[in-house]
């Protein structure tokens, strides 16, 4: 078993080296995200004009949410994994994995993990530069009574990354059936941007819609772990229940990815490789 895992460790390390070569790309992307954050600050500052709270949260708590969201995106978001997978299928590069004792899902997951580690750490650089200017707008929960956020938030963050990757993996596998998958990806991204809390915190939605969103996988892609760390979710029991739903969605998506992979291979005609 350890020998089997060792090969994926090597894949992770090679991916780490490869992504470090393009570290400036990640750093520039993070810097542009920081600019986006400035725009968010301006818009929400205007929204809070003459108000002390919106949805029960003050301006510092809302700004903290968006700062944490930006950092979280670089640690767990699937940026172009779906496109890379579809290209390997379309160009026949996937054939080499069919002839070797390599699990393609774990192989791509190893590369995804290395890429997110590099992009996440580099995203912290512009944040460290901006911290002196953000001091009044950062309000993270603190104290011994808040340690549960760490214990529950880290598993939530890990499962969010897995959900993000598995969804991207499933979309990539659509290349077995379709020559072009960009339209599917764009549609998914549009829905995710709205329902994962990237435009506004989901708890600002009307209560019935917010409750419904908690049963969708998008809720657990980004909003859920960010809300745990930033104090928008304050009941440990409710968070534990959310972890169970998140795990259920992860299992469903893993089964779906396995189904698509198995059915896709039946349609695949190996050429070269």
Quick check: 149 and 157 in contact, CB under 8 A?
no
Residue 57: strand pairing partners: 54
Question: What ranges do the domains of the chain cover?
Answer: 2-267
Comparing CA positions, the residue from 108, 80, 76, 77 lying closest to residue 261 is 108
Burial of 199 (0-12, 13-18, 19+ CB in 10 A): exposed
Q: If DSSP codes are grouped into helix, strand and coil, which group holds residue 100?
A: coil
Q: What are phi and psi of 182, to 5 degrees?
A: -60, -40
The pLDDT profile of the chain, 273 residues, written as one tens digit per residue, is: 566 677 788 788 777 777 767 666 666 766 666 677 778 888 888 888 888 888 888 888 888 898 889 889 888 988 888 888 988 888 888 888 887 788 899 999 998 998 888 888 877 777 777 777 776 777 788 888 889 999 999 999 999 999 999 999 999 999 988 888 888 888 888 888 888 888 889 998 899 999 999 999 999 999 999 999 998 998 999 999 999 999 999 999 999 999 999 999 888 764 444
């Amino acid at each position: 078993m350890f020998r089997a895992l060792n090969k994926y460790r090597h894949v992770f390390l090679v991916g780490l080296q490869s992504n470090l070569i393009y570290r400036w790309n990640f750093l520039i992307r993070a810097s542009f995200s920081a600019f986006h954050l400035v725009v968010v600050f301006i818009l929400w500052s205007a929204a809070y004009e003459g108000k002390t709270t919106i949805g029960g949260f003050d301006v510092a708590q809302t700004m903290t949410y968006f700062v944490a969201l930006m950092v979280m995106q670089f640690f767990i978001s699937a940026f172009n994994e779906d496109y890379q997978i579809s290209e390997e299928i379309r160009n026949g590069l996937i054939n080499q994995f069919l002839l070797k004792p390599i699990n393609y899902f774990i192989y791509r997951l190893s590369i995804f993990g290395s890429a997110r580690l590099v992009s996440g750490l580099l995203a912290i650089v512009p944040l460290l530069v901006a911290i002196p200017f953000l001091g009044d707008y950062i309000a993270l929960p603190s104290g011994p009574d808040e340690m549960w956020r760490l214990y529950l938030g880290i598993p939530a963050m890990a499962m969010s990354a897995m959900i993000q990757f598995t969804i991207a993996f499933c979309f990539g596998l659509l290349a077995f059936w379709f020559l072009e998958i960009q339209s599917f990806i764009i549609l998914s991204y549009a829905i995710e941007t709205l329902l994962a809390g990237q435009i506004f915190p989901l708890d600002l939605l009307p209560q019935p819609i917010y409750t419904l969103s908690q049963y969708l996988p998008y809720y657990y892609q980004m909003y859920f772990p960010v809300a745990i760390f930033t104090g928008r979710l304050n009941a440990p029991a409710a968070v534990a229940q959310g972890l169970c739903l998140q795990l259920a969605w992860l299992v469903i998506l893993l089964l779906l990815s396995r189904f698509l992979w198995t059915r896709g291979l039946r349609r695949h005609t190996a050429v070269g490789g």
